[in-house]
Amino acid sequence: MPPMATSAFKQQGSLDDFDGKRGKEFSRIMKYFSNKALFAFAIIFAIFAGVMPLLMNIFMGDMVNVFNTADNFMPNLVSVIYKLIGFNVGMLVVMFINIYLRMVANPFFMRDLRKNLYKSYMEQDIEYYDRVPTGVMVGRLSQDVTMIHEIFIDKLCTTIQLLAQSIGGIILAFVTVWQCAFIGLGASILAGIIFFIGERVVDKIWISYNESSSQAATKAEEVITTFRTIKSFDCELQEAQAYQATLVEVDNIFKKTSLAQGVKDLFIALIMHAMQAGTLYYASYMVMNQPEKGYVAGDLFIMMMSLSFATLGISNAMTMSDDFKKTLVSCAKVLDVIERKPKSDRKKGGKLKSIKGKIEFRNVTFKYATAKENALENLSFIINPGETVAFVGESGCGKSTTLQLIQRFYDIQSGQILLDDVDVAELSQVYVRSQISIVPQSPVLFTMSIKDNISYAKPKKAIESQVAEAAQVGNAHNFIMEIPNNYKAEVQQTSLSGGQKQRICISRAILANSPILLLDEATAALDTESELLVQQSLERFRKGKTAIMVAHRLATVINADRILVFNEGHIVEEGTHQELLSKGGIYADLVKFQLQ
């Protein structure tokens, strides 16, 4: 039997939510850059920065001509030098503005991209989080956004600068010695054809490389997060070998990419060097043997320097194509998330004028998107306002699934879920969830102060006295006051027990004061003393509220008004603790098993 983590990894495949949608990444991603004027100015000055060194060649050509003539040598030389100095000052100003605009635009762009990506994550439905591994989502926010940030503004502007330099160089060569410029233009076109053919090959290989890298990263995260389990089964060697196997695949794909890029760059370099040699020979021939055409040494210098600049610009721009290929894949992945629309609009729907807390399931059938069988099938029950009902049954029988459906985390396949006799499909998800407080099995605390964790239920409305009152009802106030800094203490810097964390979570639910309370095995992981304190908190809090308790410890549900026994997505028994014991069915068997 393979190790658990390895088996799960093989089943998950690429572990990536990217659906492969590609095309127009740069134009699409620009929609999310708020300061487009800044980007436009950066592009304009990148073009200026590419063209201005070419114009300097004209002055250098004039200087060559000055040295080839004896008449008015010094006045002509001084005039050219003054022009060069003035032009260089202007060019330095343009270069400074060019670099400054890039440095300013870069952080703006990364902020906008992360903001839109994070916003999209917050709007996705629960099914998305079920399907996409955490490592992939974090990778989008960190690795992919960083790669786009590093390449998009700076290297895009550099590429535009190089292309402006190349196009300007060819134009200037045509203006000076057009016969030789045709050689350069033909070589550039041939190099461009080879470049685009090579890039199509590299592009296909690079997608596989990116997927394999993501797979290796997710594998590493999976092993690290499950390391205690791996160590307990003595599977360290197997996991190291499994990770090594993913790295071998990444290495093989990278070798293919490097080979394709190397062959492409070799042919382009040969063409460019041949072009330079050909133009130098032909231009020298015309100057020496065809004086009637009026070409002088300065023209030859301008033409050769212009083509050299054009060749250098094309070569450097092409070498950046590898970075752009990586960035295009990252852009496509980030855009895939940003442009993804959730299946349902959480704000769409109405509200109830007032809520009593009646919950009804009518023939509800539900199946998870990744599952083959139904989690619930024709499930029906009614919970009256103010009633405390317990869900019991073996793991995987549908208890927690039912709680998630009450919160509208998923859409059902058939049937109806009613809140005060109104179908929840007609109510907004935001409204439904605002009427529900939940205490989960594993306490969820955020990296903030204890006060902020409790007031998370009402982040903009809660005042300190309300927070303290909620903590008192939740049996949390006393231990909070014994902690240094009390309510201002940071959770991550405070050693809190499981019971203390759970009581903070209960205090949060108390502060929300919602008419419906969901307790998903709220005391399952606590010791006896902590469980007793938590139970006391819950007993006080749930009075007058519609409460649903999911529990494995049946001692915690004895006082429930009713107990619903789940089995394979159905309710098979219903009644009070004593009624179910007297029936001698599944519930009675569960009680006997726990007593043993």
**Could you tell me the residue ranges of all domains in the chain?**
23-338, 357-435+516-596, 445-513
**Domain 445-513 of CATH type 1.10.10.60:** no
Calculate the CA dihedral of residues 375, 379, 382, 388 and round it to 10 degrees: -30
**Domain 357-435+516-596 of CATH type 3.30.365.10:** no
The span from the CA of 422 to the CA of 250, in Å, is 54
Which tokens is 292 given?
């009637």
| Start-to-end Cα distance in the chain | 32
User: What's the one-letter identity of residue 243?
Assistant: Y
The span from the CA of 397 to the CA of 330, in Å, is 41
Asked if 402 and 520 touch (Cβ cutoff 8 Å), the reply is no
User: What's the one-letter identity of residue 164?
Assistant: A
Q: What is the pLDDT along the chain (596 residues), one digit of tens a residue?
A: 333 333 333 333 334 555 555 667 777 877 888 788 888 888 888 888 888 888 877 777 777 666 666 667 677 777 778 887 888 888 889 889 888 888 888 788 888 888 888 888 888 888 788 777 777 788 788 778 887 877 777 778 888 888 888 888 888 878 877 777 777 777 777 777 777 777 777 777 767 776 777 777 777 777 777 777 777 777 778 778 887 887 787 777 778 777 877 887 788 778 777 877 777 777 777 767 766 666 666 777 777 777 777 777 877 777 777 677 777 777 888 888 888 887 766 667 788 888 888 999 999 999 888 788 888 888 899 999 989 899 988 888 888 889 888 888 888 888 899 998 888 888 888 888 888 888 887 778 888 888 888 888 776 666 778 888 888 887 788 888 888 888 888 877 667 777 788 888 888 888 888 889 888 877 665 667 767 777 777 777 777 889 898 877 777 788 888 999 988 888 898 888 888 888 888 888 888 887 66
The span from the CA of 417 to the CA of 405, in Å, is 8
Closest alpha carbon to 376 in 415, 428, 431, 429: 415
Q: Do domains 357-435+516-596 and 445-513 have the same CATH topology?
A: yes
Which tokens is 405 given?
């459906």
Number of Cβ within 10 Å of residue 169's Cβ equals 29
The span from the CA of 501 to the CA of 490, in Å, is 13
Return the CATH number of the domain spanning residue range 23-338. Answer: 1.20.1560.10
Rounded to two decimals, what is the model's pTM? Answer: 0.65
Estimate the share of the chain in helix, then strand, then coil, as percent rounded to the nearest 5: 65, 10, 25
